[in-house]
Structure 1
Amino acid sequence: MPQKQERIQQQSKPSMTWLFQYLRPVKWRMLALVLLLFVMTALQLLNPQLVQRFIDQATGSGSVSSLLSLAGLYLLIAVLNQLFTVSVDYLGNDVSWRATNRIRADLLKHVLLLDMRFHNTKTPGEMIERIDGDVTSMSNFFAMFVAKIIGSFVLLAGILGYMFVYNWPIAATMTAFTCMSIGVMFGIRDMGVNASQSERQANAALFGLIEERIAGIEDVQANGGVPRLMNRYHRAMRSVFLFGRRAWMRRVMPWNVTVVMFTVTVTIVLMISVHMYLRGQITLGMLFLFFQYTQMLNDPIEQLGDQMQEFQKAKSGMRRARELLSLQSEIAEGGDNELPQGPLSVSFEQVNFGYNEEQRILHDISFMLQPGERLGLIGRTGSGKSSISRLLLRLYNLDTGVIRVGGVDIRSLRLKALYQKVGMVTQDVQLFDGTLRDNLTLFNPRLSDEEILETTNRLGLLPWIEALPEGLDSRLSAGGASLSAGEAQLFALTRVFLTKPSLVILDEPSSRLDAATEAILQTAVDQLLEGCTGIVIAHRLATLDQVDKIMVLRQGRMIEFGARAALAQNPSSEYAQLLRANRQEEFA
């Protein structure tokens, strides 16, 4: 609950206030950055004055040594200014990436905790764009925010301050231009935000399409889907282009306005300066100084205009990031942290569930497993077998009814407490980019090599590990292409075995295996289920010879539940009929 309240409070904060909170941990780096900016601005303001003195002395009675001194000082200041510029850019990027990486981390953690209903509607490509792409637009803005925005205002103040000392009419003209330019930019600063947000969404859709089709490349190639995919790709790219063009045209509007205003201002300042020079009121060097300061005035104004464009892209990213952070998981954490030790009982009490409101998957499911019992779940595809396992792990919330594990309503448990006691082996095994040890332990450093090797030996995976050139230190690539189907299932069993669960769910672990490999796997499964309560979902009835009870599902309804031996001996039972049909297929 505190985390939810915090996210709601974050959503109610203004965009910039929300973003600036991520800068607090780097406030001292920002202070150093601001100090560097003041020094760099002072050096920028000093150089035109050196040129002014050089010109006046060169056209007057200045000595060669004084001219050389001015030239040397100018060169030294130029080098120092360049060093400070590099330092400011480095610190700006450092501050930016430190702050926005925290945003990425918060977004990723939040997304990983959202329920499966959310993830079922999003592709990985789209989520990558939401977590990284949107934040990168913020990072680009913040990388130069202090250097460009604050630096520009400091430089503007310095230029106008000097000009009021030298000549107030020109200074007043420049001040009027500066105020109008900044006013226009801030007045229409949000013009391109909505369009930029649509551009980001179009990019997310494009990346989602690419990721989805690459993930299914075998089906795309085997079924001649490349032309159709390219057609969808071109349509997605057209959307990116149209939304991008519209967003760019709106973002550059402040810059276009300031260009026109600057042209008018430069003309007025030059006319006044030349008039004063011709009347002998200023020197040639002073004329250059006025011109140079006027040109310098354009730089911070342009930088502010550029940052207005970056700000609009960043603000669209902020909106999308905060929108993502405001989403709440339907899976509410409970307050209980512990389940009983040893094998756990499992009970379903009038459980109803559907993935959406229109279609119910499970209807009034009720059964009871005693600690240490093994249940075999059978039924046709779509009968609801996997839904029962997903509800046990709280990947979804049930609609009505109660599920108890170890006598405790799972809704009252913290998810961590549930996952520590319940393990699940699925058909698909996900490998991560890392060592074999990391993949087996899921990056748990507390598990020793002795435990890992002892477990893999019991499950028959040790010969495969010993055949690898570096053993547990061998690196595996993400995806799982380096494992056979049998090795993948043994791999998944090892992962669960190492967690020492009290309840194990096996979701069709032998569906892709040949008979010989299935026999090896069955031995490993029997070892895994020793001292545990087990639920085995299977199409092959032979894998259920060691279970205690059988449940038969049909269209989400439990049509049979009882002791396996009793059901097998009852010729009228659904399970006995399935056994007879299975034997006939084997002898056919």
Structure 2
Amino acid sequence: MSEPQITGKTYDAQLLRRMMRYVRPYQGIFIISVLLTILMAGIAPALPMLVEYTLDRFILQHDANGLRLMLMLMLGLLVFQTVIRYYHTLMTSTLGQSVIRDLRIAVFNHITRLRLKYFDHTPIGRLITRTISDLETIANIFSEGLIQIIGDILQLVVILGVMFYTDWRLTLVVLIPMPLMIAATYIFKEAMKSAFQDVRKWVSNLNTFLQEHISGISIIQYFAREDQEIRKFKTANAEHRNAHIRANWYFSIFFPVIEIIMAIALGLLVWYGSKQVLADELSPGVIVSFIMYINMIFRPIRELVDRFNTLQMGMVSAERIFSVLDTNEQTPNTGTKQPTTIRGEIVFDNVWFAYDEEKWVLKDISFKVNPGETLALVGATGAGKSSTINILSRFYEVNKGAIRLDGTDIREYELNYLRRTIATVLQDVFLFSDSVASNISLNDPAITREQIVEAAKQVGAHDFIMRLPDGYDYKVQERGATLSSGQAQLISFIRALVHDPKILVLDEATSSVDTETEGLIQRAIDTLMKGRTSIIIAHRLSTIQKADKIIVLDKGEMKEIGSHQELLRIDGYYKRLYDLQFHSAGI
């Protein structure tokens, strides 16, 4: 999937307004930051003015007592400025981190509610970039960007005002190189816009590459693809490096140019000012103060470029983040029904479904599962078995037809209620980096340790859990890497059971376990499915022979339906599949 179109505007009023909504809870900190910014700008020319006054009134007049007094006053001013700068930095940093904390929560909350279809075409690494590094860049808008830009502009206005008030002709002479400064700044800003966009693009690409390849490291090693993938990574990393070098190259050109322009202004000051001093039309103190003013003018202008770049990067990141927040791919949760009891009757009524429009995965599927019955779905890979259970839980929406639970269209149920009603055990088990107990309860405070242990005993997994180093408090590594596939599958089965579902879905739940563990799970299944409507997807026909109904799917179409014995008598697809499996097993 390509990156969304990013405008890269240095200033976008609409984006800034959206970000300011997240500032509202911290208005007090924001106001204090702005007031401190104004105060810092207001007292900026105080030190040069004191230096001018000290030189003209005390040093040239050989007044030692007055000089000591002024030195103490200047020292006090420096201490005061330092304290103000400290609190200013503290407030702006606190504001920035508070805003991105709330934004990160909003982004994560939004991402977790997106339908699965969104993740089918969006790299996970890109979402990680949005949630982590892009948000950090937004924090810089407040800690190093927007408020500091206001402060730098205010300082320029105040200092220029003081300079014009002190000597307007000298000020005009000093400002002669200013058009060069403005031109250099504009050229640099435009060049940096492109460079920063490239940097952010390659950061996102690197995150995506790393996430995919670290997750799939076993495949890379199984097929000895390390060298080839390293070459790909080197290429992406080189592009990232080149983007950074290009940005730094612009900096390396810009700052010397500014120093040269600053030196020109200083040379003009010395040339014109010395003539005025020799003509006794200007005091030496004014020359010294103007030398300080030059640095105080050019430094904010030079830093303004950095500030604008920070603001620009923040705007690019904000645009990326809000493009995620504006993604309208949530499953509509317009239903309100939350009945106290669910019988478990499931009806598929002429259901058509496609992941991509018109590429039908399910075609005109109709069947009924009565409360407490077990339905098995059989078919080759790609027949539509997993799609059937995905649309039952509304992870994807049907294109045509309807699915009814207890006679009510599933879209009329409150979404979380519907999904709590259906527990699913998948073939590909996912375990979080947490304790066994937390992986079972998913940190639901309503589920007690006693309920977890009881469910584990029913499944037959209690003994193996107790043999782990810390029992139910054993820390499972990422994706359950320290457990066998059978153990991970048992934990996922306990997870489904402990939530006490009315409908149980087993998607190839025994396909990745050994024969002994499969027998353990099968015995538990026989007990646990009593009183529950169950849907089983399995390649091993031995696990579904007791099902009340078996549906044979082929390329999204229902080919056969009936019990195990009925389908054997038909002598069709199911019979051929049964003979193939059991004859190959030597039965």
Q: Same fold, TM exceeding 0.5?
A: yes
Cα distance in 2 for residues equivalent to 1:184 and 1:339 = 69
Aligned to 1:393: 393
Report if aligned partners of 1:347, 1:369 keep a CA contact under 8 Å in 2.
yes
Amino acid at match of 1:503: I
Q: Cα–Cα, structure 1 residues 492 and 288, in superposed 2: closer, same or farther, change >3 Å?
A: same
Which is further off, 508-517 or 97-106?
Answer: 97-106
Match for 2:360: what amino acid?
A: R
Partner of 1:131: 131
Deviation at 1:330, TM superposition (A): 6.4
Cα shift at 1:403: 1.5
Q: Within 2, Cα distance between the matches of 1:489 and 1:201? A: 39
**CA distance in 2: counterparts of 1:182 and 1:414, whole angstroms:** 59
What does 1:446-465 align with in structure 2 at a 5 Å threshold?
Answer: 446-465=446-465
Equivalent residues in 2 for 1:459-478, closer than 5 Å: 459-478=459-478
In structure 2, C-alpha distance between the alignment counterparts of 1:175 and 1:411, rounded to whole Å: 69
1:587 correspondence with 2:580: no
CA apart distance, 1:513 = 1.1
Residue 539 of structure 1: aligned partner: 539
* Alignment CA distance shift 1:94-1:180 (3 Å): farther
Partner in structure 2 of residue 68 of structure 1: 68
Quote the sequence identity (%).
27
The Cα shift of 1:257 comes to 7.8
Tell me by how many angstroms 1:415 deviates.
1.9
Deviations 1:32-82, CA, capped at 9 Å, x for gaps:
122323343445432223333333355333443332332233233323322
**What is the identity, as a one-letter code, of the residue corresponding to 2:461?**
L
What secondary structure is seen at the aligned counterpart in 1 of 2:45? helix
2:291 is paired with a residue of what secondary structure?
helix
Is contact 2:29–2:95 with CA below 8 Å preserved after alignment? Answer: yes
The structural deviation recorded for 1:213 is: 1.2
The change in CA–CA distance for 1:255 and 1:501 in structure 2 (over 3 A counts) is farther
Matched residue, 1:217: 217
Aligned to 1:536, the other structure's residue is in SS state strand
Where does 1:31-180 land on structure 2 (aligned, <5 Å)? 31-57=31-57, 59-172=59-172
Q: 2:3 maps to which residue?
A: none
Mapped contact 2:37–2:148 kept (Cα < 8 A) = no
Tell me which residue corresponds to 1:572.
Answer: 571
Partners of 2:508 and 2:402 in 1: CA distance: 25
Deviation sequence 1:122-160 (CA, Å, 0-9, x none): 222122112222222222232112552122123223212
Deviation at 1:339, TM superposition (A): 4.7
Shift of 1:461: 2.5
Question: Partner of 1:414 in structure 2?
Answer: 414
Quick one: which amino acid aligns to residue 334 of structure 2?
G
Aligned to 1:272: 272
Q: 1:348 and 1:257, CA in 2 relative to 1: closer, same or farther beyond 3 A?
A: farther
Tell me the distance in 2 between the aligned counterparts of 1:431 and 1:174: 68
Residue 90 of structure 1, CA deviation: 1.9
Q: Which residue of 1 aligns with 2:509?
A: 509
Residue identity opposite 2:567 in structure 1? L
Once structures 1 and 2 are overlaid, which stretch shifts more, 53-62 or 182-191?
182-191
Q: Shift of the alpha carbon at 1:378?
A: 1.2
Asked if 2 retains the 8 angstrom alpha-carbon contact of 1:551 and 1:558, the reply is yes
Give the SS at the match of 1:382: coil
What is the distance in 2 between the residues matched to 1:146 and 1:509?
Answer: 54
Query: Which amino acid counterpart does residue 418 of structure 2 have in structure 1?
Result: L
Query: Which is further off, 82-91 or 531-540?
Result: 82-91
**Secondary structure in 1 matching 2:329:** coil
Task: Determine whether 1:200 maps to 2:209.
Answer: no
Aligned to 1:546, the other structure's residue is in SS state coil
CA contact (8 A) 2:432 2:476 kept: yes
Change (3 A) 1:178 1:21: farther
Which stretch of structure 1 is more off in the superposition, 25-34 or 329-338? 329-338
Say if 1:168 and 1:106 are closer, same or farther in 2 by CA, change over 3 A: same
Amino acid at match of 1:90: L
How many angstroms does 1:258 deviate by? 6.1
Q: 1:433 to 1:172 in 2, by over 3 A?
A: farther
Aligned to 1:500: 500
Q: Residue 548 of structure 1 aligns with which residue? A: 548
Paired AA for residue 584 in structure 2:
E
Residue pair 1:148, 1:307 contacting (<8 A) in 2 also: yes
Residues 347-386 of structure 1 aligned to structure 2 (within 5 Å):
347-357=347-357, 359-386=359-386
Matches within 5 A, 1:311-322: 311-322=311-322
Instruction: Give the secondary-structure state (helix, strand or coil) at the position aligned to 2:364.
Output: strand
Structure 2 counterpart SS, 1:356: coil
Between 1:287-296 and 1:318-327, the stretch displaced more is: 318-327
Q: Give the direction of change, closer, same or farther, for the CA distance of 1:65–1:344 in structure 2 (3 Å limit).
A: same
> Which amino acid is the alignment partner of residue 566 of structure 2?
A
Paired residues of 1:193 and 1:316 also in contact (CA < 8 A): no
Q: RMSD of aligned C-alpha atoms?
A: 2.9
Q: Say whether the 8 Å CA contact 1:258–1:301 is kept in structure 2.
A: no
8 A contact 1:340–1:406 mirrored in 2: no
Q: Is the Cα–Cα contact under 8 Å of residues 96 and 142 in structure 1 kept in the other structure?
A: yes
How far off its partner does 1:208 sit? 1.0
Q: What code does the residue aligned with 2:51 have?
A: V
**Alpha-carbon shift at residue 187 of structure 1 (Å):** 10
Deviates more, 1:249-258 or 1:432-441: 249-258
Residue 98 of structure 1, CA deviation? 1.0
Aligned residues of 1:138 and 1:315 also touching (Cα < 8 A): yes
Distance 1:296-1:247 versus aligned 2 partners, 3 A rule:
closer
Corresponding residue of 2:235? 235
Q: 1:330 to 1:73 in 2, by over 3 A?
A: closer
User: Relative to structure 1, is the Cα distance of residues 504 and 270 closer, same or farther in structure 2, using a 3 angstrom cutoff?
Assistant: farther
Compared with structure 1, are the counterparts of its residues 447 and 546 closer, same or farther at alpha carbon in structure 2 (3 Å cutoff)?
same
Task: Give, in whole Å, the separation in 2 of the partners of 1:477 and 1:80.
Answer: 53
CA drift of 1:424 comes to 0.8
Q: How many Å apart are 1:180 and its aligned residue? A: 8.9
Partner of residue 8, structure 1:
none
**Partner SS, residue 348 of structure 1:** strand
Task: Give, in whole Å, the separation in 2 of the partners of 1:47 and 1:77.
Answer: 7
What CA distance in whole angstroms lies between the structure 1 residues aligned with 2:74 and 2:276?
27
Per-residue Cα deviation, 1:537-569 (whole angstroms, up to 9, x for no partner): 00111111332111111222111112334334x
Call closer, same or farther: CA 1:587–1:43 in 2, change over 3 Å: same
Distance 1:58 1:246 in 2: 51
2:9 paired residue number = none
Deviates more, 1:89-98 or 1:163-172: 163-172
The change in CA–CA distance for 1:197 and 1:580 in structure 2 (over 3 A counts) is same
Closer/same/farther in 2, CA of residues 252 and 321 from structure 1, 3 Å limit = farther
Question: Post-superposition shift, 1:374?
Answer: 0.6
In the TM superposition, residue 20 of structure 1 has moved relative to its aligned partner by: 1.8
2:310 maps to amino acid: E
Task: Give CA-to-partner distance per residue, 1:288-332, whole Å, 9 cap, x none.
Answer: 111111111112112211111112211211222222222211632
